[in-house]
Structures are given as structure tokens and as C-alpha cells.
Amino acid sequence: MTTATRLEQLFRLPDLGEGLTEAEIVEWKVAVGDTVTVDQVVVEVETAKAAVEVPVPYAGTVLRLHGEAGTALAVGEPLITVGAGAPAGADGAACGPRPEEEGGAPEPMVPAAAAAERYREEEQAGSGNVLIGYGTGHGPTTSRRRRRRAAAAAGPSASAAPAGAARSASAAQRSGAVDSAAPAGGAVSASHAAPGTSAATATASHVPRAISPLVRRMARDHGVDLTGVSPSGPAGVVLRRDVEQAIARAGQKASPSPAHKAATPAPAPQEPTTAAGPERIPLRGVRRAVADKLSRSRTEIPDATTWVDVDATGLLEAKKALESAGTGTRIGLLALFARICVAGLRRFPELNSTVDTERREILRYDEVHLGFAAQTERGLVVPVIGDAHLLTTVQLAAELARLTELARGGNLPPHALTGGTFTLNNYGVFGVDGSTPIINHPEAALLGVGRLVDKPWVADGQLTVRKVTQLSFSFDHRVCDGAVAGGFLRFVADCVERPAILLADV
């Protein structure tokens, strides 16, 4: 009596949390035929909020990749197929016998929608289709499964071991990370291993580990081979500064000497080429999320904008006083504006709200979750400081610094990008004065801050030069009238000019 063995395991795109329903494939870390281990990162995907590395919960040989780079997949759709058999053939079918060919009953065909729904149920039950850090709840079972596959494949797969080991080393070099565990399904004894196997394994074991997608992308964009970079991070991890140093060294080597520059002939003028039409750039990832949210804001929210010029000299003096107090945390102007906005929302709670269009109701929040716009390499993101009304000015400054660093490194967790009730946007860093900012849907208001410049100003009846900025305030006219919006903006302006006013609410 024989028992059919399941040769293929289909891994679907896992639920990435925070209501995300799809993700776009950015880069595959493995190819068909590569050997993978449990929790090995196999693909990098980009959601509307972050870039995420997805590990596979199975060990074995990659049989199919269900999508190319640039493909958008919905949660629950097939992502990768892993099995203990031979890699898929040219027609996409796995080589070697399937379960029904070995005498076992074939698996019933399941519609895509039903399969996706079953996937979600299995994920909640701990099926393994989750990201590293969330856990599958079946650690011991996974270990036993790996040992059974290794024992079953030791005999018939011994002749294919050298090629499998070389493919595994190649996959490890592409991903920049090597798992120290032996790949399941390709383990052979030392006496059966070919001479090239140990060499390939030794080479792969010394490949530096580049965990951050930003670091790998930087290396790829500048043509830096990570195998030649000396890691300075813990456990041999390649950090951003390591790649930057490698780029600098490569630039020095590439710089020609003065004599060589003089001997190099000037390039011949190029003939103008015929235009091939405009370049078409797909809206993907963060860019698409921003486009969708701003379009929805303009479509649904009847917004209005008001603005005022303010003398920020007093605020700058308050900033210097706080710095000299030795708080241990750098307090920037954005932190002071955050403190002022929180105080203003306490006085004008109508603006700390949203509109439920289906029920035709205004939802007014007691807590203030303050978002702030941050420009990153991936585009514009809005990290959120939760319960900002409970934080001191020093704590606000610390949270701003922490979330900004995470945003620039592409490491913001999805929950840090949702749930805001009000947004602060300091576009003055781009050297501009004013704007008509678009409200961050579904919020009801947004304050924009322009650059600080020296301007003539009348103070105490005398013409003098002061530090002046322009404040722009956009608000949803459904939640309040102009009197409330004007009152909020005037309160913010007064606090900028005379920060001592904030003491009234302490």
C-alpha cells in the first residue's frame, strides 16, 4: 500500500495588514530551480504604504513564480510554488510525477475566489502564509517536515545535488543573504557530494547580508557588487554607509588623471534623434496611492484655503531657549508647530474630525493623531504620531525624528501611516512661501508652513527686519464655517508670534 506524497506547495500573497488588499512585485530573490529554506526571503513587494520582503514558509525547490516584476497581485492570489520534485519544464508544468500519477487521488480544482477565501481562513488558523515576525504557530511541525523531505530526497536526488547546490548559492548571491540551514530536499552526505558543491557552498557562506531593500537598491543603481563590500553591521550585515563608501571608492578609481583628460579627444557631436513620443510611466506603489488619495480628496471634499503672514522671530527665540535648556533632544521648528496645532485643535475641535458620507454624519475625535508630510526616495508619505495630545514638546520632537528616520529608510510599518486626524505640512523646506494644500482624505484640515525669510515688518510702530513665514490652512467646509477656520489660523499665528500664549493651556 502506497501513500501519495504532496510534491507541490502553493504559497499565496499573504495579508500584509492595515487593510492592504494588493501588492506589486518589485524583485524576485529566487528563480525557478533554486532551493529555498523555511522563512527565506523570496520576493520584495511594494504596497501603497511600504516595501516589504516576503519570506516563504516552505522548504524545497522553486517550481513556479506566479508573476513577473511589475505585476500587481491581490491578497490571496498565487505567489510562488515550492516542491520537493524537479523544477518546472518549459511549459510551466512541474517535471516528474504528480500525486495522481503516483496512484494518489488528484486534488479537486478550486475556483480562484474560493481559494483566496480559504487562504485567509488558513492564515488566521496558522497555516504559515504570514510574514516573518508574525509566526505560524507550527514551528516543531515545520522542522519535522523538513527532515522528512531531506530523508526522502537523499537517495533519488543525490545525482542532482551539485546542480541544486550551485543554484542555491546563486540565489543566495542575488538576495544578498544566506541561510545557514541546509536546503530541504537537496541535502546529501559529504561522500556523495561533487567537488564543486563544497566550493559553491563555501562561496555562498561568505556573501555579505544586505537586509534593507534601500541598501540593495542603492548598490544595484550604482553597480556595486555586494560580495566585495566589507560589512560593518552586526552579524555581517551590509549597512548603507558600507555601500556609500564602496561608491566613493569606485568614483575615485574611475576619475582619470589630468594627463589622461588632456589626451582624451572631445566626443563627436551627436545627430538629433527623432522623438518617439512621450514616455509612459505606470502609476505604481506609493505614487498610485498618493494619486488615488488626492484625487478622492478633490472629488469628495469641498475644501477652502486661507492664509496669513506671521512674524516667526518669537518662535525662533523660543526654540533657542529650549535648546539651551539641555533637554537632551533636538527640538526643531516642526515640533513647535506640532505643539501649536495640538493646542489649536483643543480650542477648535470641529477641525479634528471627518465626514461619514454614507451615514451623512460628522465624526469628531477626542484624541489627536497628528500626521506630518515627509518626502522620501519612494515618494511622499505621511507618518502619524498617535495620541499627540498626550505628548510633551520634547516627546513630540523625539517622535518626529524617529518616524522621519524610518520613513527615509523605507522602514515605516503600515500602522504608522494610518489613522491620522490632522496633518502638518512644512513645504518651506523646498524654498517656497505659500500653497493651497490638498487635505489628506479623510481628514478635515491641513496646515501648511512656508519658508522663513527676512522681510520688512512693522513692530511696535517701527519698521524693522523680521523672520517672516506664510501659513496656509485648508479645511473641509462641511465640518465648519469660515469663522472656525479663521479662528484656528489666527490662534496658530498668535502662538508663532508670541509663544508664551501656549502657557495658558498648560
For 97-143, what is the HEC assignment? CCHHHHCCCCCCCCCHHHHHHHHHHHHHCCCCCCCCCCCCCCHHHHH
More confident residue, 91 or 46: 46
Q: What is the average pLDDT across 472-480?
A: 97
More confident residue, 47 or 451: 451
Distance of alpha carbon 305 from alpha carbon 489, whole angstroms:
11
Give pLDDT, residue 448. 97
Decide if 477 is catalytic: yes
Tell me the three cell numbers of residue 455.
522681510
Give pLDDT, residue 421. 97
* SS3 assignment, position 195: helix
Cβ 96 vs Cβ 114: under 8 Å: no
Distance of alpha carbon 176 from alpha carbon 229, whole angstroms:
11
Kindly report whether the global pTM for this prediction surpasses the value 0.95. no
Distance of alpha carbon 402 from alpha carbon 358, whole angstroms:
37
The yes-or-no verdict on residue 366 having pLDDT over 90 is yes
Distance of alpha carbon 139 from alpha carbon 15, whole angstroms:
20
Mean pLDDT of the residues in the chain: 76
Give pLDDT, residue 133. 37
Q: How many CB atoms lie within 10 A of CB 225?
A: 10
Q: What is the dihedral of CA 199, 203, 206, 211, to 10 degrees?
A: -140
Phi, psi (rounded to 5 degrees) for 476: -85, 115
Which residues, other chains included, contact 134 with Cβ-Cβ below 8 Å and sequence gap of 6+?
Answer: none
As a whole-number percent, the residues of the chain with pLDDT over 70 amount to 67
* SS3 assignment, position 303: strand
The yes-or-no verdict on residue 374 having pLDDT over 50 is yes
More confident residue, 210 or 180: 210
Q: What is the DSSP secondary-structure string of 304-322? A: EEEEEEEE-HHHHHHHHHH
Which residues, other chains included, contact 282 with Cβ-Cβ below 8 Å and sequence gap of 6+?
Answer: 70
Residue range 164-190, pLDDT digits in tens: 444 444 444 444 433 333 343 343 343
Q: What is the DSSP secondary-structure string of 239-257? A: PHHHHHHHHHHHHHHHSPP
Residue range 397-415, pLDDT digits in tens: 999 999 999 998 888 888 8
Distance of alpha carbon 310 from alpha carbon 471, whole angstroms:
7
Q: Poorest-confidence range of 6-15, 451-460, 480-489? A: 6-15
Check 192, 222, 415, 477 and give the catalytic one.
Answer: 477
Which residues, other chains included, contact 256 with Cβ-Cβ below 8 Å and sequence gap of 6+?
Answer: 264
